[in-house]
Amino acid sequence: MFGRRRKRECHRIREMFSPYLDDCLTSLERDAVQFHIEICEDCEWELRSLGATVQLLSRMPAASAPRSFTLAEAPSRRDWVPFALPGMKRLRLATTLAVVLLAILLAGDFSGLFHGDVIVEPPPEVADVAAPVDTAPEHQEGDIPVQQAEDPPGEIADWPPEATEPVDGRVTQRVEPGQEWDLPAEHPELPEAVAPLRKPYPWLRPLQIASAALLVILGGAHLLVWQRKRGLTLHKAS
């Protein structure tokens, strides 16, 4: 425990060695460094060796320019591409945020975090569904919606959707295309094992599409910047 704390302290103090050598520490920080190196031989050597390195570097002679670099004629300023475009930091930040947002939305979507239970109306009673029978009196069962008059007789016989016998613990039902319904929990024929239907929240898809579109736009902006920089590099190479 003590050793770990000591290592942390050594690390903290060593981070201050360069500012210490360059005299860029406050008096309190300077005292802390001096106090530490008096009791820590490793750090004392570290500081001494860094100081020697700085001294060696200061002995390096400056490389003098071998010729004049003055410009004989003024190059055109039109093809100048700034190294640091004004909004580059913001562009990077926005791209990162868009990536993170999209990742969160997709992860929430796939994991079901952003899915909610579907609120459904209770299934119509047999008598209610049978109301349109007047328009199709030939059906004796009287529980077929109007549009099913054109359905093949074989399928009509299967209406209404009912829970059939459980097969391997699952309940199968026939649901017509476009029909949205679910058996409520209190439905007498529904076994308790059937989970309620969950659908993504309505705001999820638009938000996913918006963030993906934003990402595409920002990616395009990055591509443009990259191309301009590449153009500059090619210009330099030529």
Partner 1 sequence: MPTYEEELIQQSKDGDLDSFNQLVERYQGQVYNLAMRMLGNRQDAEDATQEIFILSWKAIGSFRGGTFRTWIFRVAARFCTDEVRRRRGRQVDSLDAMFPEHNPLPSSAESPEDHLLREDLSQLISQHLLCLAEEQRLVVTLADLQGFTYEEIAQITNSSIGTVKSRLNRGRANLRDLLLKNRELLPPEFRLYK
Q: Which is nearer to partner 1, 68 or 111 (CB)?
A: 68
d(Cα 148, Cα 146) in Å, to the nearest integer?
5
Chain residues that interact with partner 1, rule: CB under 8 A: 14-15, 17-19, 22, 24, 45-46, 48-50, 52-71, 73-77, 79-80, 82-84, 233, 236
* Shortest distance, position 227 Cβ to partner 1, whole Å: 15
Q: Which is nearer to partner 1, 63 or 167 (CB)?
A: 63
Q: Which is nearer to partner 1, 57 or 193 (CB)?
A: 57
Q: Which is nearer to partner 1, 82 or 116 (CB)?
A: 82
The secondary structure of residue 143, as a DSSP letter, is -
Q: Which is nearer to partner 1, 28 or 63 (CB)?
A: 63
* Shortest distance, position 97 Cβ to partner 1, whole Å: 20
d(Cα 149, Cα 125) in Å, to the nearest integer?
20
C-alpha angle 171-175-179 in degrees, rounded to nearest 5: 135
d(Cα 49, Cα 17) in Å, to the nearest integer?
11
d(Cα 115, Cα 198) in Å, to the nearest integer?
6
Locus of tokens 């640091």: 84
d(Cα 181, Cα 88) in Å, to the nearest integer?
51
* Shortest distance, position 6 Cβ to partner 1, whole Å: 18
* Shortest distance, position 68 Cβ to partner 1, whole Å: 7
- Phi and psi dihedrals of 163, rounded to 5? -70, 120
* Shortest distance, position 80 Cβ to partner 1, whole Å: 3
What string of DSSP letters covers 169-227?
TB------TT------TT-TTS-TTSPPPEEE-TTHHHHHHHHHHHHHHHHHHHHHHHH
Q: Which is nearer to partner 1, 24 or 120 (CB)?
A: 24
Nearest 10 degrees: Cα torsion 32, 36, 42, 45? 60
* Shortest distance, position 45 Cβ to partner 1, whole Å: 5
Q: Which of 117, 128, 122, 112 is nearest to 190 (CA)?
A: 122
Q: Which is nearer to partner 1, 115 or 228 (CB)?
A: 228
* Shortest distance, position 30 Cβ to partner 1, whole Å: 14
